[in-house]
Every structure is written in C-alpha cells, then in structure tokens.
C-alpha cells in the first residue's frame, strides 16, 4: 500500500501571510487540508483546486470534532496515499495537541513532518508592542492555559514570579483569573494587557491593571480569541505612531477567488478589515480546438485575467509554447489581463487607455487591417459592446466562449463600510441570494456592472475610475478621507 504522509503545519498567529515560507510551500502541493477554526481562512486559497478541505474547528464552546476523531481522519487520509496538511493556528506543539497527533500517526506507522509556526504566546504581545522579555524588567516568561491558571496552588506560585505571565485560552475566564490573582496577593496595580484577534485588522488591545482589566475589556467589547499578558512588560507600548490610512475601514470583496485575493491583499496593506465573499466560480469550457487554427488569425483578443489564465492553461494542456503565437498580435482589455500574460513572457501589442469593452473595440477598429481576422476568447456573458462595434466596422472575427462564471449559491448579509462588485455576474449573483446593510457604500467596476446594480434598485453607488483593483482602492482611500 502506498501510504501518504502528514505535515503538521503551524499557521502562525493572525493574518495568512504570517505562516512560514516552508509551511506555505507544503500547503501549495497538498491533497488534503485538515484545519482548525483559528486559522486565517485565506490560507485555504493557496492549496490546489483539487485539494479537499476538512474543518475540525476546535474552539472554546464549539468543539466540532473530538481529538480522537481528528486522529482517525489524519490516519484515514494518509492511508489513501495522500499528502495531508494538518493546519493548526499558532504552533502545533504550543497547547495545540500536536504531540498527541504525532503519537497517533507514529502508532499507525504513518510518516509525518513538523513545520513550526509563530505561537500567539509571543506574537500577540509583540503585535501590541509588548516584549515578553526585557532587560531589568522581565528576564523570562511563562506560558499557561486558563485550565492551569485556575488551579489554586499554581496561582500562588505565579504571584511570586517576576517574569511575564502569558495566559492562552483564558479570555472567557478573565474576571475569575484576575480575582484569583488578587486573592493570592498579587498587587492590584499589576499591569495587564488583553490582545484580541492579534495580528489581524480586527486586533484590539486593552491595557489596564489587575483590578480593572475585566471591566475595561468588557467596555471595549473584546472577544475571543484573546491572549492575556500579566506583568511589568504588559505596561509597555513599543509601537510606531504611524497609522495605516484604512485602519478602521471594513470592506467586503465579492467576485471570483482570484480577483478577491488580489484586491484583498492590496486593502490589507493599507490596514483594512477585509471580508472576502468569493461566491463565484470559474467554469472553463472543454474546447481543445481553440489552438488548432491560431495560424488563420492575425489578432488574439483576451478580455479578462480569467480568460488569459484559461488560455495559458489550454496551451499547457496541449503542450504548446509561445512559438505558436509568433504571427499573432495580441490585444487585452487592461493591465490585469496584460499582467497574466507577462508572467509567461507574452507582451500584448494593444491595451486601451480606458479598460472597458467599448474602448477595446474602438482601439481594435483603429489598428486592425481590412483583411485581418480576430479571434476573441472570453466569458459566456461577455459584453456585446465589443462585437457590436466590430460588426459596424465590417471586421471579421470569431467570438469563442471559453468559460462561464457561475454562482455557488452562498448567502450573506453584508454590513461592512464598503461592498465591492467587479462584474455584472457578481452583482446579479449577489442580489439573488444576499442582502446589504443600508449604510454600506457600494463600489463597482464599469458601466455594465453599474447597470446591473440599477436593476436591483441600487442608486447610491461609486464607479471606479479605472476598471481594476487599483481603481477600487482609489475610491475607498478617497471616501475614508471624507469620513
């Protein structure tokens, strides 16, 4: 039997990009991901499309799987010859029960590898500007869980320590923990910090003292997951005064996974709280004949990054390289589509100044020769503006649909500051199943998407100046200034 192997991967504390490089590489080549509730779900997007994703989300009050059943799942998947990633928040061996999982795999004769992650026991404090060790203040630190902290004997021991104390999984017992330390004669003015959702745009930090921390955390409406830091270093705040321009702004990004991922990454760089809602799926059409007659055309037209990706995939599938494009001129709708091609060493000959189907059509009319034939590869519901102008100009073209965009049926009620639509199909699919709060500002790309919003009685929307992620970001930055 060809037995697979299991990788216990620490996802780190906070946003998806805090995982290690090695952890990310393993994730990109796995067959199965078995993940916990506390990981950033964006990490799942880095796995191959075919990878199975199994949530075993262990979280306080919401244990979806027993530890014994998790062991069974790991073993069963590996016995099928699969490469399995056991993705755990923080580090697998810091209160993550990774040791138990390794023993179960070892007993079953299954190979496993451990890839460390950055534990919240140090990372959460760092994100709040708190060093867990600092010369002349704290020469060490102790990490415990709430279950340990609530023991009477241990509490009395901890009150005598001069080092920093870090408590994990203790937020729901914060008041009891504080009272226990006070009853064990820890000074009531001992600095305490609680860091909620550390390492994410939703991060909140409350700094107080032992006697007031529970009330102050309640007033600030903190929520789990949260890390509690007790000791003199908890009173430190080693943070830059630089504040990101969108730090208090929340945005819901809709559309396909690829577009959502790109825009979300850009927004996070500005400190935005991003909610991704990728309820659209790309469904490529099986059309092996697309590449057979390329030599009969003078122009190739691609109207979206998705179309460009599918075209490249088709070339790979048929083992064709860029030499088959030698006699073709290539026109694309915008910089995003051009970027996909450039990644493969293909540089478009024509990009309109305005990234719309109408502008692309006008540019083609001005550049295509009288005898030239055009091959258009695009989505099932591509804009008619392109072909209407080519018809009017008497240009010969072949319009082939190489993919469709379909809704997954996901439902949601969006209540963020902004909601972004990048396509007509995205707007149509959203309003079929979901709703939006009246105070949420809507941003769209292009005239056609704007018309789709109008069909659903949406009038107070913003339209991006350029039809790409940068155009969306520009509007959000401008509106954030006006708030």
pLDDT tens, 333-376? 988 899 999 999 999 999 998 888 889 999 999 999 888 999 99
> Taking 90 as the threshold, does the pLDDT of residue 161 lie above it?
no
Percentage of the residues of the chain whose pLDDT score is greater than 90: 60
- Tell me whether residue 169 is one of the annotated catalytic residues: yes
Catalytic residue of the set 31, 40, 82, 169: 169
**pLDDT tens digits along 417-441:** 999 998 888 888 899 889 999 999 9
Q: How far apart are CA 28 and CA 48, in angstroms?
A: 6
pLDDT of residue 63: 54
Question: In this predicted structure, what is the pLDDT of residue 241?
Answer: 62
Average pLDDT, the chain: 90
Q: In the prediction, which pLDDT does 1 show? A: 57
For the stretch 390-399, pLDDT in tens is 999 999 999 9
Q: What gap in Å lies between CA 208 and CA 217, rounded to an integer?
A: 9
447 is catalytic: no
Better-scored residue on pLDDT, 18 or 202: 18
* Catalytic site includes residue 36: yes
Catalytic residue among 15, 31, 36, 40: 36
pLDDT at 150: 60
Catalytic residue among 15, 31, 40, 58: 58
> Where do the domains of the chain lie, and which CATH numbers do they carry?
5-118 (3.40.1010.10), 122-235 (3.30.950.10), 241-483 (3.40.50.10090)
When pLDDT is averaged across residues 193-202 and rounded to a whole number, the result is: 91
Q: What is the pLDDT of residues 444-470, one digit of tens each?
A: 988 888 888 999 888 889 998 777 788
């Amino acid at each position: 039997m060809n037995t697979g192997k299991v990788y216990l991967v620490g996802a780190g504390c906070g946003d998806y990009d805090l995982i290690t490089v090695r952890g990310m590489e393993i994730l990109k080549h796995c067959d199965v991901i078995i993940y916990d509730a506390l990981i950033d779900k964006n990490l799942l997007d880095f796995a191959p499309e075919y990878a199975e994703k199994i949530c075993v989300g262990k979280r306080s009050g919401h244990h979806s799987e027993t530890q014994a059943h998790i062991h069974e799942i790991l073993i069963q998947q590996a016995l099928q010859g699969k490469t399995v990633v056991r993705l755990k928040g923080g580090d697998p061996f810091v209160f993550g029960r990774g040791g138990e999982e390794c023993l179960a795999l070892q007993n079953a004769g299954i190979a496993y590898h451990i890839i460390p992650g950055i534990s919240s026991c140090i990372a959460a404090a760092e994100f709040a500007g708190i060093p867990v060790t600092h010369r002349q203040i704290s020469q060490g630190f102790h990490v415990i869980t709430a279950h340990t902290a609530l023991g009477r004997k241990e509490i009395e021991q901890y009150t005598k320590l001069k080092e920093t104390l870090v408590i994990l999984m203790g937020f729901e017992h914060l008041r009891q923990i504080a009272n226990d330390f006070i009853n064990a004669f820890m000074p009531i003015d001992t600095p305490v910090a609680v860091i909620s959702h550390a390492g994410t745009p939703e991060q909140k930090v409350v700094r107080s003292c032992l006697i007031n921390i529970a009330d102050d955390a309640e007033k600030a409406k903190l929520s789990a997951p949260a890390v509690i830091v007790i000791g003199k270093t908890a009173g430190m705040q080693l943070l830059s005064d630089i504040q990101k321009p969108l730090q208090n702004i929340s945005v819901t990004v809709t559309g396909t996974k690829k577009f959502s991922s790109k825009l979300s990454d850009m927004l996070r760089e500005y400190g935005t709280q991003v909610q991704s809602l990728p309820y659209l799926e790309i469904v490529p059409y099986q059309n092996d004949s697309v590449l057979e007659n390329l030599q009969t055309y003078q122009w190739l037209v691609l109207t979206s990054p998705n179309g460009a990706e599918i075209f490249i995939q088709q070339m790979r599938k048929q083992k064709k390289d860029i030499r088959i494009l030698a006699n073709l001129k290539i026109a694309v709708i915008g910089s995003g589509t051009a970027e996909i091609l450039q990644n493969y060493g293909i540089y478009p000959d024509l990009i309109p100044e305005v990234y719309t189907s109408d502008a692309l059509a006008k540019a083609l009319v001005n550049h295509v020769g009288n005898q030239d034939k055009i091959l258009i590869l695009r989505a099932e519901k591509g804009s008619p503006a392109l072909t209407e102008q080519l018809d009017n100009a008497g240009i010969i073209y072949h319009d082939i649909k190489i993919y469709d965009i379909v809704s997954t049926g996901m439902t949601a009620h969006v209540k963020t500051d902004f909601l972004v639509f990048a396509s007509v199909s995205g707007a149509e699919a959203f309003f079929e199943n979901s709703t939006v709060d009246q105070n949420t500002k809507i941003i769209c790309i292009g005239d056609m998407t704007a018309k789709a919003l109008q069909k659903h009685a949406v009038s107070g929307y913003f339209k991006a100046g350029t039809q790409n992620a940068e155009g969306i970001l520009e509007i959000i930055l401008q509106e954030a200034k006006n708030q």
